[in-house]
């Protein structure tokens, strides 16, 4: 070809120059563990379901299905979970934690409104599993086992399913319509529920099934020895809450004292107010900051006019009157009696000192180990007796609905593996997405939306739900406050900031990105400017 | 904020795109169809702010004009690393002549297009700070005063980086370059020297003058697009960190650009016909030290023999910009 004067070469593109050869480190898209997921006792993939919900519209259902992979109770969780996810949320270090619980409630309620269901998508395995107890743990295990194709029978001692979700948590925290809807969805998978079917001899039943999951809970109120006069009116909180649910109104009087500092104590005091007690006073032997009750329960109780008497123990109960001894904390934070006594007027005393498990049904089961009143289990939730697993309040761990649901899921995974003789797939836990791995510059300034509360006057006289839900717009904005810690949410920043056009954006729905290693020089700008810390640099092998 | 603010989509205005946005809400750089006016394989250093800035500016100009842009380039890093004979990284018509005559050549191209009746084709001149502030300054001022129909873009990395990091008229005080060493009572570049070409451009009362950084993509794209709505001389001054010349980590390019604005050291504003019309306010104000410390060209201000007095003088420069342009966040004035 004829070339102009002094020109000897054709024009070429610089793409012939593969600058990737300069690289000593390469950028790799990774997934880190978001702190919310890390903290969730039920093992929910919170970042992932928020990611779906952030899209709005059809995203709510996709998000709900993500929750349902791990937890069959989204609407219940959105009311009763103490949301350790929010405590762990990285956004708390920027402005305020994402209101994960409120979004979960919105998505869960939407599922009930729209009638979304799940199905069993695997062929029946023919294996029969017995679940003892229809509380959160038993129902969760039954759900996960049923979805894996097993035939599940739940035997429940009580007249209705739900366990502590029904007989422990008052209606003003969890509407029974919501509970019924989510329980029914589990039963609709083909789970057999036998009510009023208390198991008294497990050893006899055990051999009729391929595996057993025990989740009988802890429903015996712990008693403390308190000298009491003959006319003293003393009852325990769990029985009181259970009787109320069964339609029996306890007689409490005008002034009610509640002894204990846990969530059940708060529930008992708040229930007493609703039943007409003019005065409900919580007596606790330590200080407010050492009380085991969740902060939101305490705050709501205070709002409702519940009174508190800190650093106090009850030494004597008489008709209409308690004798209280003042305590002081020693250096180790342990309460010590001071010998100073005072009197407190109270028509009744409700004991909320913790719960114990009735383990009589386990007599004669070989290998089973009971320690401190609870059943010992290995990390796979199996007891000392092969094929018998246990979870929920009857095993040694924190007692909450979410923990119980998590036990049910974990037990189901291991029961499934045990039944098929295979090792369960190991749960992958990547490194934590800590706050310093994020580039928070990129997130919008967005203050948190808090859920509205029921009017105070109605809280003192009715059992209507206290915490109300978000409307769609608010729930969507709250979902979008999620920073997606450690995981790509397709903001296109890496694609934008590469000086070498070495990030390829895949042009497809949910398309993500690839690093073009022919041209990536390894500068690390994409890593530094990724808002969620989803890209990391790794040294090249030389 | 002069450009359209993106409300809460997790990230809002600050990232390039976001899957939740409608396609037309995304920045040019977030689109798979962007023109990549300067393509891969160029020989800019790792983390080059200028290569990034040039793509941001030209892709936005290409989009604003429907792909009808001619670029004229003065000598400098941008020209050297993009066109080692016979390769070219440019995916648009591109001319290079000399170090000092970029604005004159661009004016000539504009005149030629006018003579041929092609007012649909727009001209972008571009140069580094050496080619703009020093060597090309005479021709640039001429282009301004004749109000030639050119958008001239200066990619300011505060020195002659291509020839070995020498001082330019845009090098800030106290910075170390090859010819402003860390010696004497006032180490590094002297205080009281240098100039602001954006303010000089405003003195020409040309239709449009703006400053921007590679840290705020949407702001930059908005300004290029807006510049293309004017006829006549327009000037855009883009702050582009240089990892090599500044002794900074290649990953810190965008971060340093962001800090230059958030400290107040580099005021980001727009002006029309000689008057400032908009300023980009600081979002999260930080002391200048946060900007200076990651750069080796300021290392002599810290370490074993720190010079807090000089850091204070640099802070005073930032404070003067903040007061002069009104850069504090709303409600903080």
Q: Is B253 on the interface with A (CB under 8 A)?
A: yes
Structure tokens, A267: 């529930």
Q: Give the integer Cα–Cα distance in Å for B11 and B17.
A: 9
**B 29-88 residues with CB below 8 A of A?**
29-30, 32, 36, 39-44, 46-49, 51-52, 55, 82-88
Kindly give, in sequence order, each residue whose CB lies less than 8 Å from that of residue A109, ignoring residues fewer than 6 positions away.
A75, A78, A178, A469
- Give A8 to chain B, closest Cα distance, Å: 9
Residue A25 bridge partners (DSSP): A539
Rounded mean pLDDT of A358-387?
A: 91
Helices (H), A227-303: 237-245, 263-274, 295-303
Q: Which residue is closest to B40 within chain A, CA to CA?
A: A500
Are the Cβ atoms of B86 and A496 closer than 8 angstroms? no
| Same fold flag, A128-219+357-420 and A226-353 | yes
Confidence of residue A447 (pLDDT cuts 50, 70, 90): confident
Contact at 8 Å (CB) between A416 and A150?
yes
pLDDT of B183: 92
> Over the range A147-174, which residues count as b (16 or more CB within 10 Å of their CB) and which as e?
bbebbbbbbbbbebbbbbbbbbbbbbbb
Alpha-carbon distance of A213 to A220, in angstroms, equals 20
Which residues in chain B (170-189) have CB-CB distances under 8 A to chain A? none
Q: How far apart are CA B314 and CA B181, in angstroms?
A: 17
Residues A468-504 as b/e (b if ≥16 CB within 10 A, e otherwise) read ebbeeebbbbbbbbbbbbbbbbbbbbbbbbbbbbbbb
Confidence of residue A3 (pLDDT cuts 50, 70, 90): confident
Regions in chain B scoring below 70 on pLDDT: 1-4, 7-8, 332-333
- Whole-angstrom distance, CA of residue A216 vs CA of residue A405: 13
Of B10, B17, B52, nearest to A499 by CB-CB distance is: B52
The correct CATH number of A35-116+451-479 out of 1.10.1060.10, 1.10.1040.10, 3.40.630.30, 3.20.20.140 is: 1.10.1060.10
Mean per-residue pLDDT over chain A, rounded: 93
> Whole-model pTM?
0.92
- Subunit contact B251:A490, Cβ cutoff 8 A: no
Instruction: Give the whole-angstrom CA distance, residue B309 versus residue B306.
Output: 9
Beta bridge partners of B271: B209, B276
- The pLDDT > 90 percentage for chain A reads 78
> What pLDDT shows up at residue B214?
98
Judge if the upstream peptide bond of residue B326 is cis by omega within 30 degrees of 0.
Answer: no
Find the closest chain A residue to B8 by CA distance: A444
Domain boundaries, chain A: 14-31+488-539, 35-116+451-479, 128-219+357-420, 226-353
Closest CB to A531: pick one of B15, B44, B48: B15
Of the pLDDT bands very low, low, confident and very high (cuts 50, 70, 90), residue A221 is: confident
Q: Is A91 helix (H, G, I), strand (E, B) or coil?
A: helix
User: Which of B9, B30, B46, B290 to mutate to probe the A interface, most A CBs <10 Å?
Assistant: B46
Kindly report the nearest CA distance between residue A2 and chain B, in angstroms: 16
Q: Which whole number is the average pLDDT over A55-78?
A: 97
**Is domain A226-353 annotated with CATH 3.50.50.60?**
yes
pLDDT of residue A43 exceeding 60: yes
Amino acid B321: pLDDT: 97
- Which single residue is written with the structure tokens 């240098």? B194
Q: Is the pLDDT of residue A55 over 70?
A: yes
Q: Hey, are the CB atoms on A442 and B15 less than 8 Å from each other?
A: yes
Domains of chain B from N-terminus onward:
23-325 (3.40.50.970)
Of the CATH numbers 3.30.360.10, 3.50.50.60, 1.10.238.10, 3.40.470.10, which one belongs to the domain with range A128-219+357-420?
A: 3.50.50.60
CATH for the stretch A14-31+488-539: 3.30.70.20
Per-residue model confidence (pLDDT) at position A372:
87
Taking the CA of residue A75 and the nearest CA in chain B, the distance in Å comes to: 24
Residue A438 Cα, gap to closest chain B Cα (Å): 13
């Amino acid at each position: 070809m004829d070339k102009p004067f002094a020109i000897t070469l054709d024009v070429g593109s610089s793409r012939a120059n593969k600058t990737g050869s300069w690289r000593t480190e390469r950028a790799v898209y990774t997934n880190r563990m978001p702190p919310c997921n890390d903290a969730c006792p039920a093992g929910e993939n919170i970042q992932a379901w928020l990611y779906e919900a952030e899209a709005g519209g059809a995203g709510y259902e996709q998000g709900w299905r993500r929750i349902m992979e791990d937890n069959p109770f989204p609407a219940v969780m959105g009311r009763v979970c103490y949301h350790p996810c929010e405590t762990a949320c990285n956004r708390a270090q920027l402005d305020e934690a994402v209101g994960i619980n409120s979004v979960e409630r919105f998505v869960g309620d939407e599922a009930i409104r729209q009638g979304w269901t799940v199905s069993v998508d695997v062929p029946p395995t023919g294996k029969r599993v017995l679940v003892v107890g229809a509380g959160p743990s038993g129902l969760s295990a039954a759900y996960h086992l049923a979805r894996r194709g097993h035939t599940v029978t739940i035997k429940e001692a009580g007249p209705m399913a739900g366990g502590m979700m029904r007989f422990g948590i008052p209606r003003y925290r969890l509407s029974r319509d919501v509970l019924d809807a989510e329980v029914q969805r589990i039963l609709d998978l083909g789970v057999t529920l036998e009510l009023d079917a208390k198991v008294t001899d497990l050893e006899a039943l055990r051999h009729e099934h391929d595996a057993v999951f025990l989740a009988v809970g802890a429903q015996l109120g712990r008693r403390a020895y308190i000298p009491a006069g003959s006319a003293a009116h003393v009852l325990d909180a769990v029985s009181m809450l259970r009787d109320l649910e069964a339609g029996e109104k306890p007689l409490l009087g005008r002034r009610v004292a509640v002894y204990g500092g846990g969530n059940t104590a708060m529930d008992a005091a708040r229930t007493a107010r609703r039943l007409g007690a003019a005065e409900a006073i919580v007596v606790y032997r330590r200080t407010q900051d050492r009380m085991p009750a969740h902060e939101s329960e305490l705050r709501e109780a205070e709002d409702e006019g519940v009174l508190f008497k800190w650093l106090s123990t009850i030494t004597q109960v008489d008709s209409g009157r308690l004798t209280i001894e003042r305590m002081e904390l020693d250096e180790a934070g342990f309460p010590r009696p001071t010998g100073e006594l005072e009197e407190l007027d109270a028509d009744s005393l409700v004991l909320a000192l913790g719960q114990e498990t009735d383990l009589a049904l386990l007599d004669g089961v070989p290998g089973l180990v009971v320690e401190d009143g609870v059943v010992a289990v290995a990390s796979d939730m199996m007891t000392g007796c092969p094929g018998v697993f246990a979870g929920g309040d009857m095993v040694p761990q924190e007692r909450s609905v979410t923990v119980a649901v998590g036990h049910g899921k974990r037990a189901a995974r291991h029961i499934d593996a045990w039944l098929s003789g295979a090792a369960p797939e190991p749960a992958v836990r990547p490194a934590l997405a800590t706050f310093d791995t994020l580039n928070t510059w990129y997130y919008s300034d967005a203050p948190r939306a808090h859920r509205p509360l029921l009017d105070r006057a109605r809280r003192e006289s009715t059992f209507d739900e206290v915490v109300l839900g978000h409307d769609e717009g608010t729930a969507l904005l709250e979902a979008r406050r999620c920073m997606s810690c450690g995981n790509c949410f397709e903001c296109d920043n890496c694609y934008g900031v590469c000086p070498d056009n070495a990030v390829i954006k895949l042009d497809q729905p949910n398309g993500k990105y690839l690093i073009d290693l022919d041209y990536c020089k390894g500068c690390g700008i994409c890593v530094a400017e990724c808002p969620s810390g989803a890209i990391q640099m790794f040294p090249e092998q030389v | 904020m002069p450009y359209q603010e993106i409300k809460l989509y997790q990230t809002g205005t600050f990232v390039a795109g976001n899957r939740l946005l409608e396609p037309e809400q995304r920045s040019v750089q977030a689109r798979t169809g962007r023109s990549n006016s300067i393509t891969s394989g160029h020989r800019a250093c790792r983390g080059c702010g200028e290569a990034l800035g040039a793509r941001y500016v030209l892709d936005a100009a290409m989009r604003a004009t429907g792909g009808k842009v001619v670029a004229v380039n003065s000598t400098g890093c941008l020209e050297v690393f993009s066109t080692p004979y016979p390769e070219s990284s440019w995916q648009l018509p591109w001319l290079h002549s000399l170090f000092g005559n970029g604005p004159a050549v661009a004016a000539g191209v504009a005149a030629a297009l006018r003579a041929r009746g092609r007012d649909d084709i727009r001209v972008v001149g571009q140069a580094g700070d050496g080619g703009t502030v020093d060597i090309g300054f005479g021709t640039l001022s001429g282009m301004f005063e004749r109000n030639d129909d050119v958008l001239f873009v200066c990619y300011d990395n505060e020195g002659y980086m291509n020839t070995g990091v020498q001082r330019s008229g845009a090098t800030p005080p106290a910075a170390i370059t090859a010819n402003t060493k860390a010696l004497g009572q006032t180490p590094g570049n002297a205080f009281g020297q240098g100039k602001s070409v954006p303010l000089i451009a405003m003195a020409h009362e040309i239709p449009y003058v703006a400053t921007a950084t590679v840290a705020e993509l949407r702001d930059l794209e908005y300004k290029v697009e807006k510049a293309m709505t004017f006829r006549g001389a327009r000037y855009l001054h883009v702050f582009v960190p240089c990892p090599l010349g500044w002794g900074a980590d290649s990953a810190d390019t965008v971060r340093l650009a962001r800090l230059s604005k958030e400290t107040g050291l580099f005021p980001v504003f727009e002006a029309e016909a000689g008057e400032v019309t908009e300023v980009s306010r600081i979002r999260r104000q930080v002391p200048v030290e946060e900007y200076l410390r990651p750069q080796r060209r300021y290392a002599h201000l810290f370490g074993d023999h720190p010079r807090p007095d000089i850091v204070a003088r640099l802070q005073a420069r930032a404070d003067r910009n903040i007061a002069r342009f009104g850069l504090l966040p709303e409600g903080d004035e």
